[in-house]
Chain A
């Protein structure tokens, strides 16, 4: 093989490898995107059954412990959604707590959540319900 044709092969192989890597990147990225919605935005996208994060505050007196976790409602002041949580809620889950629920819309118009994050206030002020974004694990 001449030097020139070998270089062509190498170049083609590298292009193919790069293309494959980019496709893998885009596919894996698109599979792992989670939208972040407030309760009212989430309610507006009820037909969407993909996984996303929903932010709101726990409605006072709505927490009911179940065998598999807790049921409760969250609100952002404009809309309210019922949440079915599978698994234990985090340490400071209580009435009024600002939460981010990770899950999807399930049967009966209820949000099926498998993880609750309590909003992490950067400066420890009483948190605003509006747009909790940063989260603790």
Chain B
């Protein structure tokens, strides 16, 4: 019944997409506006169908209907409700369904947002592209990734989700956010293709998709950070990012999308970088498909295992088609994509943006190469190999430092050309702040060049942001005579994109600080302790008090009780644990973390205590990890600000005048505070 409903919904979704494409293309070819207006409605149909299918799956999950193969494999009667619901994205088929649902949401948003312009060929082409992507995902679900496959006999109980996925509530939020990010890039992609086909690649399509892109980017950023947090809290290896292909898969589109968010500004202001922007949108979308391919086809285990899911070849073919169409369209339109403007001076906002883009593209290439190299080597040479973390760290660190530098400097550079006086006025104080921070860090004993540069540039960037906020607020206060409490929110509202962007930069500074400190100041040691013994790791004394065994219905949990002392104060008893599942060799460690503003104490059970024997406890004193999560929050806040509406004019206090002034005076802004 649920399976029938689900399959029916998928079939309706696929037909909606297919018929919608047909109607829209016919309308475009015959210039029949009525068909374009009708065709738009099919985007809502896609959302409705995906929602019904996802609803049927959730219904089956919640009622533990084990006649469905997917439910039997990813749910058990003992699974808590939260992880029953999140079972929708616990495995391949369900996550494709979630992908389709999120895509349906974005398409419906597109159809609603551009309802007045449904007859506009640009919008109609974008609708066609969106429906085509939806059709592909519905076809996947009707073919190789069918979530509603039935079992001939329903087992009495299911296998339950992968134990790692039901260990922490973050798993319920991280994948949907990631998907809202990845799928959201379909909107700018659809409009980019529409712009290429219609030949209207001015700045219109950028303005149309600005908010969708930004929203998707924010979701992806937060999703990546939550994933790192989950890895840190659950996996128990002490870190949060291992350059694992699954992590890289989400990072790659983030890098190109971040580059795009910046280069868009150059096109809007100066009309330059048109081909570059189209290429970035195209690569971002391709990388989201590649991400699905890498994470969902099983290709990462081995090239040879990717036949097991059958979805791999589909995704590869789709990726190839998208890339070919995109590149072909850009080549076809190449002659008309010439930029009207050019870069006038090497030190200007636009050239800083250009360098920033090259750095982001370079970083994306480095990560992409390291991620797919093992696949290529296995496919073409037959060797199985892996690319070690040092490759990523050594390549990404200098690029990251350079990006931090440009992030600190670029917002202060004026467009077109600059003078030494302007640079001195805007950059001298931040530069002093950065230099002083570096000196203090050296005095306090920091010797790592990377960390020193990161700290200095972080201070530089923060001082720059504060200066820019201060200048904006002061200018506004002078001009408008507003109260201090109102002037800050109003300044922000006068240019949410600029100030939201600057807040995002503050979040990035938090993350950079955390990464640099974590890499430099983290101390770790494995200590083997008998009961009652203690050991000291960089000032923290850990004492092993004993362990408890707890037999659950599905697993055995061994908890070690560890007392932590620092300086004369008792920080309490922590209980790192290890969970052992009876029918597997796999055990899952649960770290116990004491979170602090500057240092986390991170305890894991490295080897389990056998009866009364000694236990080996992994002790890590991790520096400033909390700031990663804080940075994620600040980025989310900044994105939310930048998404906000722009306050065009201030509403003045009603003043009794006989004659209104003929021209409303524009709120004066500091010249640099005009849109970035």
Interface, chain A (partner B; CB < 8 A): 21, 24-25, 28-29, 31-37, 53, 87-94, 96-98, 118-127, 131, 133-134, 136-137
12 more contacts with CB within 8 A, not counting A91-B589, A92-B585, are A24-B395, A31-B390, A32-B389, A33-B386, A33-B387, A53-B386, A87-B526, A89-B607, A91-B578, A133-B302, A137-B237, A137-B242
B384 contact set on A, CB distance < 8 A: 35-37, 133
Query: B395 to nearest A CB, angstroms?
Result: 6
Please tell me if the beta carbons of A124 and B606 are within 8 angstroms of each other in the complex. Answer: no
Residue B546 at the chain A interface, CB threshold 8 Å? no
Please tell me if the beta carbons of A25 and B584 are within 8 angstroms of each other in the complex. Answer: no
A25 in contact with B607 given A98-B585, A133-B302, A133-B384 (CB within 8 Å): no
Please tell me if the beta carbons of A133 and B585 are within 8 angstroms of each other in the complex. Answer: no
A127 contact set on B, CB distance < 8 A: 585
Please tell me if the beta carbons of A34 and B584 are within 8 angstroms of each other in the complex. Answer: no
Q: Which of A28, A34, A36, A90 contacts B607 (CB 8 A)?
A: A90
Q: 8 tightest A-B contacts by CB? A: A32-B391, A36-B384, A137-B237, A32-B388, A92-B587, A124-B584, A35-B385, A133-B301
Give complex CA distance A7, B410 in Å: 23
Which residue of chain B has the shortest Cβ distance to A119 in the bound complex? B585
Which residue of chain B has the shortest Cβ distance to A41 in the bound complex? B384
A35 contact set on B, CB distance < 8 A: 383-385
Q: Which of A32, A88, A126, A131 contacts B606 (CB 8 A)?
A: A88
Which residue of chain A has the shortest Cβ distance to B389 in the bound complex? A32
A131 in contact with B578 given A89-B607, A91-B607 (CB within 8 Å): no
A120 in contact with B586 given A34-B385, A137-B242 (CB within 8 Å): yes
A126 in contact with B584 given A25-B395, A137-B242 (CB within 8 Å): yes
B385 contact set on A, CB distance < 8 A: 33-36
A25 in contact with B366 given A33-B387, A91-B578 (CB within 8 Å): yes
Residue B530 at the chain A interface, CB threshold 8 Å? no
Query: A32 to nearest B CB, angstroms?
Result: 4
Q: Which of B163, B383, B394, B587 contacts A91 (CB 8 A)?
A: B587
Please tell me if the beta carbons of B583 and A29 are within 8 angstroms of each other in the complex. Answer: no
15 pairs, CB–CB < 8 Å, chain A vs chain B: A31-B390, A32-B388, A33-B385, A34-B387, A35-B384, A36-B383, A36-B385, A37-B384, A88-B526, A88-B528, A91-B578, A91-B607, A92-B585, A121-B584, A133-B301
Please tell me if the beta carbons of B387 and A29 are within 8 angstroms of each other in the complex. Answer: yes
A91 in contact with B606 given A123-B162, A126-B583 (CB within 8 Å): yes
Give complex CA distance A125, B159 in Å: 11
Which residue of chain B has the shortest Cβ distance to A38 in the bound complex? B384
Give complex CA distance A37, B386 in Å: 11
Residue B362 at the chain A interface, CB threshold 8 Å? yes
Residue B369 at the chain A interface, CB threshold 8 Å? yes
Give complex CA distance A119, B585 in Å: 9
Residue B475 at the chain A interface, CB threshold 8 Å? no
Which residue of chain A has the shortest Cβ distance to B589 in the bound complex? A91
Query: B476 to nearest A CB, angstroms?
Result: 40
Give complex CA distance A89, B607 in Å: 8
Please tell me if the beta carbons of B388 and A33 are within 8 angstroms of each other in the complex. Answer: yes
A53 contact set on B, CB distance < 8 A: 386
Give complex CA distance A94, B585 in Å: 9
A32 in contact with B387 given A90-B607, A137-B235 (CB within 8 Å): yes
A91 in contact with B300 given A35-B385, A36-B386 (CB within 8 Å): no
B587 contact set on A, CB distance < 8 A: 91-92
A137 contact set on B, CB distance < 8 A: 235, 237, 242
A131 in contact with B387 given A29-B369, A92-B587 (CB within 8 Å): no
Give complex CA distance A134, B300 in Å: 8
Query: B614 to nearest A CB, angstroms?
Result: 11
Give complex CA distance A88, B237 in Å: 14
Residue B314 at the chain A interface, CB threshold 8 Å? no
Residue B253 at the chain A interface, CB threshold 8 Å? no
Please tell me if the beta carbons of A122 and B369 are within 8 angstroms of each other in the complex. Answer: no
B387 contact set on A, CB distance < 8 A: 29, 32-34
Please tell me if the beta carbons of B581 and A124 are within 8 angstroms of each other in the complex. Answer: yes
Please tell me if the beta carbons of B585 and A126 are within 8 angstroms of each other in the complex. Answer: yes
Please tell me if the beta carbons of B390 and A32 are within 8 angstroms of each other in the complex. Answer: yes
A21 contact set on B, CB distance < 8 A: 362
Give complex CA distance A110, B366 in Å: 35
Query: A36 to nearest B CB, angstroms?
Result: 4
Give complex CA distance A120, B586 in Å: 7
Query: B663 to nearest A CB, angstroms?
Result: 41
B300 contact set on A, CB distance < 8 A: 134
B259 contact set on A, CB distance < 8 A: none
A32 contact set on B, CB distance < 8 A: 387-391, 394
Query: A104 to nearest B CB, angstroms?
Result: 13
Please tell me if the beta carbons of B606 and A90 are within 8 angstroms of each other in the complex. Answer: yes
Residue B370 at the chain A interface, CB threshold 8 Å? yes
In the complex, which of the residues A29, A118, A134 has the most CB atoms of chain B within 10 Å of its own CB atom? A29
Please tell me if the beta carbons of A34 and B581 are within 8 angstroms of each other in the complex. Answer: no
B526 contact set on A, CB distance < 8 A: 87-88
Query: B242 to nearest A CB, angstroms?
Result: 6
Give complex CA distance A127, B583 in Å: 11
B237 contact set on A, CB distance < 8 A: 136-137
Query: A69 to nearest B CB, angstroms?
Result: 11
Please tell me if the beta carbons of B395 and A28 are within 8 angstroms of each other in the complex. Answer: yes
A131 contact set on B, CB distance < 8 A: 302
A122 contact set on B, CB distance < 8 A: 162, 301
Query: B348 to nearest A CB, angstroms?
Result: 14
A88 contact set on B, CB distance < 8 A: 526, 528, 606-607, 616
Residue B373 at the chain A interface, CB threshold 8 Å? yes
Give complex CA distance A133, B374 in Å: 12
Give complex CA distance A28, B390 in Å: 8
Which residue of chain B has the shortest Cβ distance to A120 in the bound complex? B586
What 0/1 readout, one digit per residue, does chain B (148-161) give for beta carbons within 8 Å of chain A? 00000000000000
